[in-house]
Amino acid sequence: MSALHLEKVSRIYGKGDVEVRALDGIDLDVEPGEFLAIVGPSGSGKTTLLNILGCLDSPTTGRIVYDGTDLHGLDETGLSAYRRDRISFVFQSYNLVQVLTVRENVELPLVIEARARSKGAKKADEIRDIALAMIEAVGLSDKADRFPRELSGGQEQRVAIARALVKEPLVVLADEPTANLDSHTAGEILDLMRGINERRGTTFVFSTHDRLVMERARRIVTLHDGRIASDLPSPSSAAGEADKRGADPAGRGIGDIASARRR
């Protein structure tokens, strides 16, 4: 079963003369564990597609099926719940909550989840342990009590990745995650995500212009005027083994944490 299934998805803004067809009949299947890049020129519909995949926006027409669940007709509360439980985001400008420490930022998705559940919610101690393990996995154990303003851009993005992964989402949607980073740091961050993808099987979907992302992606979907212009395996995906060797050692522990949590 596909992790994500999009069927004739269109997103139209405005009406009549001012109608903008941001997405136009998109069919897309994303398999579990994919490392997929959505590319295309500005205005091609990348962000709209990512918003629809992230349940932040609803398609005007078409179906979206997540892990066998049809999201058609879910209201805002239902979509919020779906986002909370199954989807995570990594943003271009990290978007950490400035008044929370690294640990508190990473705890946030679990806290939101716990707030929503009256039964079976994780206890504060449990949430703290999971968050600390995740922070350790992204190599920032010594920064757990720091605030975002005390971190470098690369460190902030690592925190954002830890925050995205802490609740074991079905899919991580990353919107230009390397755009604000220098190429060295961007490479490190991508290797970290790729390592997580390989060890945990977490599905990653990127919207990007970055060559480094495209190099590491296994599949590249190119959008043009709201339509899929091409959907191809990445030329570099054959060289995946070589990529794995270059992965950030910090990413190695994440599969272990995930399996420990599942136990």
Partner 1 sequence: MDTLWRIAARNVVRHRKRTLITGIVMMVGIGLYIGYDSILSGMDRMAIDSMVSYSSSWLKARTPGYAAESMGFPIDEGIAGPEAAMAAMRKAAPQITATAPRTLFVAQASNYTDAEPVIAAAVDPAADATVFGVAASVGKGRWLAGPEAGATGAAGGNAAPPREVVIGAGLAKDLGLSVGDGLLISARTIYENDNADEFTIVGILDGTAALAGTATVYMGYADARAFLGEGLPVTEIDAAAAPSPSLEKELEGSVQAAALVRAALPSLAVDPVGEFAKDYLALRTSKSKASLLLIAMILLIAAVGIVNTILMSVYSRIREIGVLRAYGMTPKDIRKLFTREGIILGAVGSLAGLGFGALLDWFLVSVGISLSAFGNLDFGSIPINGVMRGEWKPESFIVGLIFGIGVAWLAARIPAKRAGKLEPTEALRFV
CA Rg, the chain, in Å? 18
Among 107, 188, 243, 248, binds partner 1 (CB under 8 A): 107
**CA 97 to chain centroid:** 17
Burial of 162 (0-12, 13-18, 19+ CB in 10 A): buried
Question: Which own/partner pairs from 212-216 qualify as long-range (CB within 8 Å, at least 24 positions apart)?
Answer: 212/178, 212/183, 212/186, 212/187, 213/37, 213/177, 213/178, 214/37, 214/39, 216/35, 216/190, 216/191, 216/243
The verdict on 177 binding partner 1 (CB under 8 A) reads no
115 sits near partner 1 (criterion: CB under 8 A): yes
Among 40, 45, 59, 109, binds partner 1 (CB under 8 A): 109
Interaction between residue 104 and partner 1 (CB under 8 A): yes
Which position among 44, 51, 157, 197 is part of the footprint of partner 1 (CB under 8 A)? 51
CA dist 210 and 217 (Å) reads 11
Exactly one of 31, 70, 99, 182 binds partner 1 (CB under 8 A); that residue is 99
Strand residue runs (E) in the chain? 4-13, 20-30, 35-39, 61-66, 69-70, 87-90, 171-175, 203-207, 219-224, 227-233
Choose, by CB under 8 A, the member of 65, 112, 170, 212 that binds partner 1: 112
CB of 246 to partner 1, least distance (A): 30
Q: Is 35 in the site for partner 1 (CB under 8 A)?
A: no
Q: At closest approach, how far in Å is the CB of 180 from partner 1?
A: 13
AA letter at 123: K
Site for partner 1 contains 8 (CB under 8 A): no
Cβ atoms < 10 Å from Cβ of 249: 10
Taking contact as CB under 8 A, which single stretch among the options 102-110, 185-193, 218-226, 237-245 is the one that binds partner 1? 102-110
* Residue 77 makes contact with partner 1 by CB under 8 A: yes
Ranges within 182-201 binding partner 1 (CB under 8 A): none
Residue whose structure tokens are 């949607």: 173
Q: How many residues bind partner 1 (CB under 8 A)?
A: 29
Binding of residue 108 to partner 1 (CB under 8 A): yes
Contact set with partner 1 (CB under 8 A): 51, 54, 56-57, 76-77, 80-81, 83-85, 88-89, 91, 93, 95, 97-100, 104, 107-109, 111-113, 115-116
